[in-house]
Amino acid sequence: MKMRFVLGLVSLAVLSGCGSEKHTVTPINNNQQVNAGSGSDAGNSNNEQPEIILPQGRIALTHDNTVLLYNLDNGNLVDTLNTTHSNVTLKTSPQGRYILAIARQQDLVQFVDTGVYLEGEDSAEVVHQDSPNLLNFELHDSRATHYVPNAQNALLFFDGNKDEAADAGFALLSDKSIGDEALIAQHHFNTYMHGTGEVRSDWVIATLRDAQSDSTLPSQLGLFEIHGDHFHQEHTFEPACPDLHGSVQTTTHTAFACSDGIVKISQEGDAFTASHIANSQALPEQHRIGKLLAGEDDNHILGIARSNFYHVDLASNAISAFNWQPEGITSYLTYGISAISQSLLILDEQGYINVFDSENDWQTTGRFKAVESVVADTNAMLINNQAYDITYLVYGQQVITLDLAKQTATPLLNLEQPISSAAWSGITQQ
């Protein structure tokens, strides 16, 4: 992988665990330090951290090669930046400070420091809301595609390119490593593939493809352990996973979608066990799950096959239909899992958001109007606020705030040009 900077070693500690204590944060002016002796906590004999209120953060929106950053507390434009290429895909860094601008076809990943972050520890924490800037740090590798974040780090998978004899690979990133202008670690395969991977502490479960295969899709899974700035493959899992596409993880399981079902890999300590869940009669002939979603429940995930949703029970190893549609609804425009409540959100063809509880076997908890006038072929996407239980619906030129606790939709922004990609930035609850 080519970078503008030499790779440095980053402590393995960033791979451990799944987040730290949650913060509540006080209204802040730019770079206001929260005083441990101020407010209602003054005189607290235990010297506890005063309650602080997290800012709403910022939202980045793209059109052509322009990135517009808006303050979500007041809707004001903070700054405008320009990426090298047009039509980039935006992604939020694991802890929210940075935004990745991925130009897949041009083999370039750029990074925006959005200026919103929490600095320091305990009573000396400072909330920054600084001016954004485009970093000099860049990644130059072939066809960055799947981006898989968790609370501490993220895996970015590069598909490679058959025509250019460029091999696939993956890189591990964190907010700290981006700030240090380095990767935590990386790995390259001996062939191209449209693959993915899931990070589990010191391990990565990633896809494998036979270099002689006619398909770009992988067919097996490998276990990789981090060693300094690179990975060693420690194991190849059986059973195989033909035409693998789609993955997700819960507390103890990692699931991958195959043409013949699901491969489930369960972890207990440093021990990993793989098993297969066969496609059921719930899936019509020639249908296969190609995307997986997970919420709070460790054993109950969802699969999507040709616009149909399926319930995958990882405890009983069964796949069944998930009939989410209210009466009279036949299709959806977009879907996603919210960051805080971990609810399933589905925008239906009538412009309503349908809400489902991932902790209660995906039971419906509400339906509310979000788009007043649905227009055919309008781009729709859901972008999560990771500080509050709010999701933003980007619909054409509009940004609409979805308050998931109140189940209300409020217009936030209306741009002059259609929005091609979007991402939230700020201080996450993790």
- Cβ contacts of 391 within 8 Å, gap of 6 or more: 336, 338, 339, 345, 382, 383, 384, 385, 402, 404
Lowest mean pLDDT among 11-25, 372-386, 395-409: 11-25
pLDDT beyond 60 at 427: yes
Q: How confident is the model at residue 47 (pLDDT cuts 50, 70, 90)?
A: low
Token representation of residue 291: 């995307």
Considering the entire predicted model, what is its pTM?
0.89
Nearest residue to 357 (alpha-carbon basis) of 366, 348, 370: 366
Tens-digit pLDDT profile for residues 90-126: 999 999 999 999 999 999 999 999 999 999 876 678 8
Cβ contact 200:180 at 8 Å: no
Token pair 């964190």 in the structure block, residue = 174
Cβ contact 336:317 at 8 Å: no
User: What's the confidence (pLDDT) of residue 260?
Assistant: 97
Count the alpha carbons within 13 Å of 257 in the hemisphere toward its beta carbon.
20
User: What's the confidence (pLDDT) of residue 378?
Assistant: 97
Angstrom distance (rounded) from CA 111 to CA 102? 9
Cβ contact 331:349 at 8 Å: yes
pLDDT beyond 60 at 230: yes
DSSP 25: B
Tens-digit pLDDT profile for residues 196-219: 999 999 999 999 999 999 999 999
Q: How confident is the model at residue 53 (pLDDT cuts 50, 70, 90)?
A: confident
